[in-house]
């Protein structure tokens, strides 16, 4: 199947989810490890000492029994810490025949050589689009403080330069800077963008993806932390950032613009701007095989080890259906993160554009 056909198939599946319940999800958000070298002020993943995470043989079994994915996000922790990350991507590429896009974040703390080698292996698999997000939470002084690692900003810049070269060689590869607004970096977004554009000629505000710090007990493990910035500061920063961006026809940029407008609404009201498609279009799978509706809702549905790695065994069961019913009633915890928001947006572009 061609790149265009796979994109059309993903879009059609997302739109269909707005009118009917899908038989199985088309997006998987999979934390392949919770190991992390960062020491972030707003996230406690790095404090975990993970053992017993899913092995490559188990991941292959899951990929084989669940071949419906068109969009896969491999997250962490730091995904590139897994020495078998290429084999993980291969397992999904070989089984999900209509896979269109693979996305991953990185903290840039692995060596450039290691990341480049493992990313090259992934790019050789022939997935139509591979998108990497470079975590960047401030200009040099702020980012290193927020991330707790001296020199981290310069490592991000070095890896970005490497990626700029890779983009010239691989038309399906792209990268963005992922910036999370927290109380630890509020008011620093524009200065950060300016500094990056000076360091890396050719980078524009459209190369930044913005999130708001939120609390999660099943992913960030920061449920007892006060990480959010003051709403007035967030509103001002987001408004200024939206004005800095230019309109583009790229599908990712169209969805990103809609995401940002709804993120601004979320910052103003604290209310989720659109109903999520969790456990319809997508699910969150942690590194131990636990299935959740999303990274923001700690309602455990099952563990893949207990269900023979086959989602068909639980997707229409009582636990999953109860979550879907709760979402329809507006009982889902209020959140707006790209991990779940993109599915809502693509599933209802007309509403998202308002």
Residue 340 has pLDDT above 90, yes or no: no
Strand order through the sheet with 173-181: 208-212, 173-181, 129-135, 101-106, 71-75, 27-31, 282-285, 290-292, 302-303
- CA dist 287 and 79 (Å) reads 11
pLDDT at 353 over 70: no
Q: What is the pLDDT of residue 229?
A: 82
Separation CA 137–CA 265 (nearest Å): 22
Please report which confidence band the pLDDT of residue 295 belongs to, taking 50, 70 and 90 as the band edges. Answer: very high
Say yes or no to pLDDT of 1 above 60: no
What pLDDT is recorded for position 276? Answer: 87
Q: What is the mean pLDDT of the chain?
A: 92
**Mean pLDDT, range 222-248, rounded to an integer:** 89
Whether pLDDT at 169 is above 80:
yes
* pLDDT value of residue 354: 55
Please give the CATH number for the structural domain made up of 3-352.
Answer: 3.20.20.70
Q: pLDDT class for 349, splitting at 50, 70, 90?
A: low
Which among 107, 72, 77 has a CA at the least distance from the CA of 88? 72
In tens, the pLDDT along 78-119 reads: 999 999 999 999 999 999 999 999 999 999 999 999 999 999
Phi and psi at 183, nearest 5°, equal -70, -10
* 233 band by pLDDT with thresholds 50, 70 and 90: confident
> Alpha helix locations (H) across 26-136?
56-65, 85-95, 112-123
Q: Give yes or no for residue 251 having a pLDDT over 90.
A: no
CA nearest to 134, candidates 190, 207, 186, 73: 207
Q: What's the pTM?
A: 0.94
Residue ranges of domains in the chain = 3-352
Percent of the chain with pLDDT over 90: 79
Residue 352 has pLDDT above 60, yes or no: no
Mean pLDDT of 49-57: 97
Flag whether pLDDT at 347 surpasses 70: no
- The band of 275, judged by pLDDT with boundaries at 50, 70 and 90, is confident
Classify the C-alpha dihedral 249-251-255-260 as positive or negative. negative
At 346 the pLDDT is: 78
Of 138-142, 211-215, 221-225, 245-249, the least confident: 245-249
pLDDT digits (tens, 9 = 90+) for 312-336: 999 999 999 999 999 989 999 889 9
């Amino acid at each position: 199947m061609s790149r265009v056909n796979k994109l059309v198939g993903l879009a059609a599946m997302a739109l269909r989810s707005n009118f009917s319940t899908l038989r199985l999800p088309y997006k998987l958000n999979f934390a392949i490890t919770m190991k992390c070298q960062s020491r972030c002020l707003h996230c406690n993943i790095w404090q975990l000492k993970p053992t017993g995470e899913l092995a490559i043989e188990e991941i292959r079994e899951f990929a084989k029994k669940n071949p419906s994915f068109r969009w896969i996000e491999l997250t962490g922790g730091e995904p590139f810490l897994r020495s078998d990350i290429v084999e993980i991507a291969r397992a999904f590429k070989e089984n999900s025949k209509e896979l269109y896009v693979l996305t991953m974040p990185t903290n840039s703390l692995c060596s450039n050589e290691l990341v480049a080698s493992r990313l090259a292996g992934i790019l050789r698999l022939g997935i139509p689009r591979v998108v990497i997000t470079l975590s960047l939470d401030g200009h040099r002084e702020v980012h290193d403080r927020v991330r707790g690692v001296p020199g981290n900003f310069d490592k991000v810049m070095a890896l970005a330069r490497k990626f700029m070269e890779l983009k010239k060689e691989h038309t399906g590869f792209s990268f963005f800077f992922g910036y999370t607004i927290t109380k630890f970096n509020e008011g620093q977004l524009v200065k950060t963008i300016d500094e990056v554009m000076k360091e890396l000629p050719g980078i524009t505000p459209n190369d930044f993806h913005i999130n708001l710090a939120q609390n999660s007990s099943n992913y960030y493990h920061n449920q007892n932390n006060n990480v959010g910035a003051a709403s007035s500061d967030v509103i001002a920063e987001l408004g200024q950032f939206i004005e800095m961006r230019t309109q583009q026809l790229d599908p990712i940029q169209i969805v990103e613009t809609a995401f940002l407008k709804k993120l601004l609404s979320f910052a103003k009201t604290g209310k989720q701007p659109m109903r999520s498609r969790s456990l319809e279009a997508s699910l969150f799978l942690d590194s131990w095989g636990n299935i959740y509706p999303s990274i923001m809702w700690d309602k455990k549905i099952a563990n893949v080890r207990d269900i023979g790695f086959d989602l068909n065994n639980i997707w229409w069961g009582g636990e999953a259906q109860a979550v879907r019913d709760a979402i329809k009633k507006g009982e889902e915890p209020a959140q707006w993160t790209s991990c779940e928001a993109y599915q809502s947006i693509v599933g209802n572009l007309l509403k998202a554009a308002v």
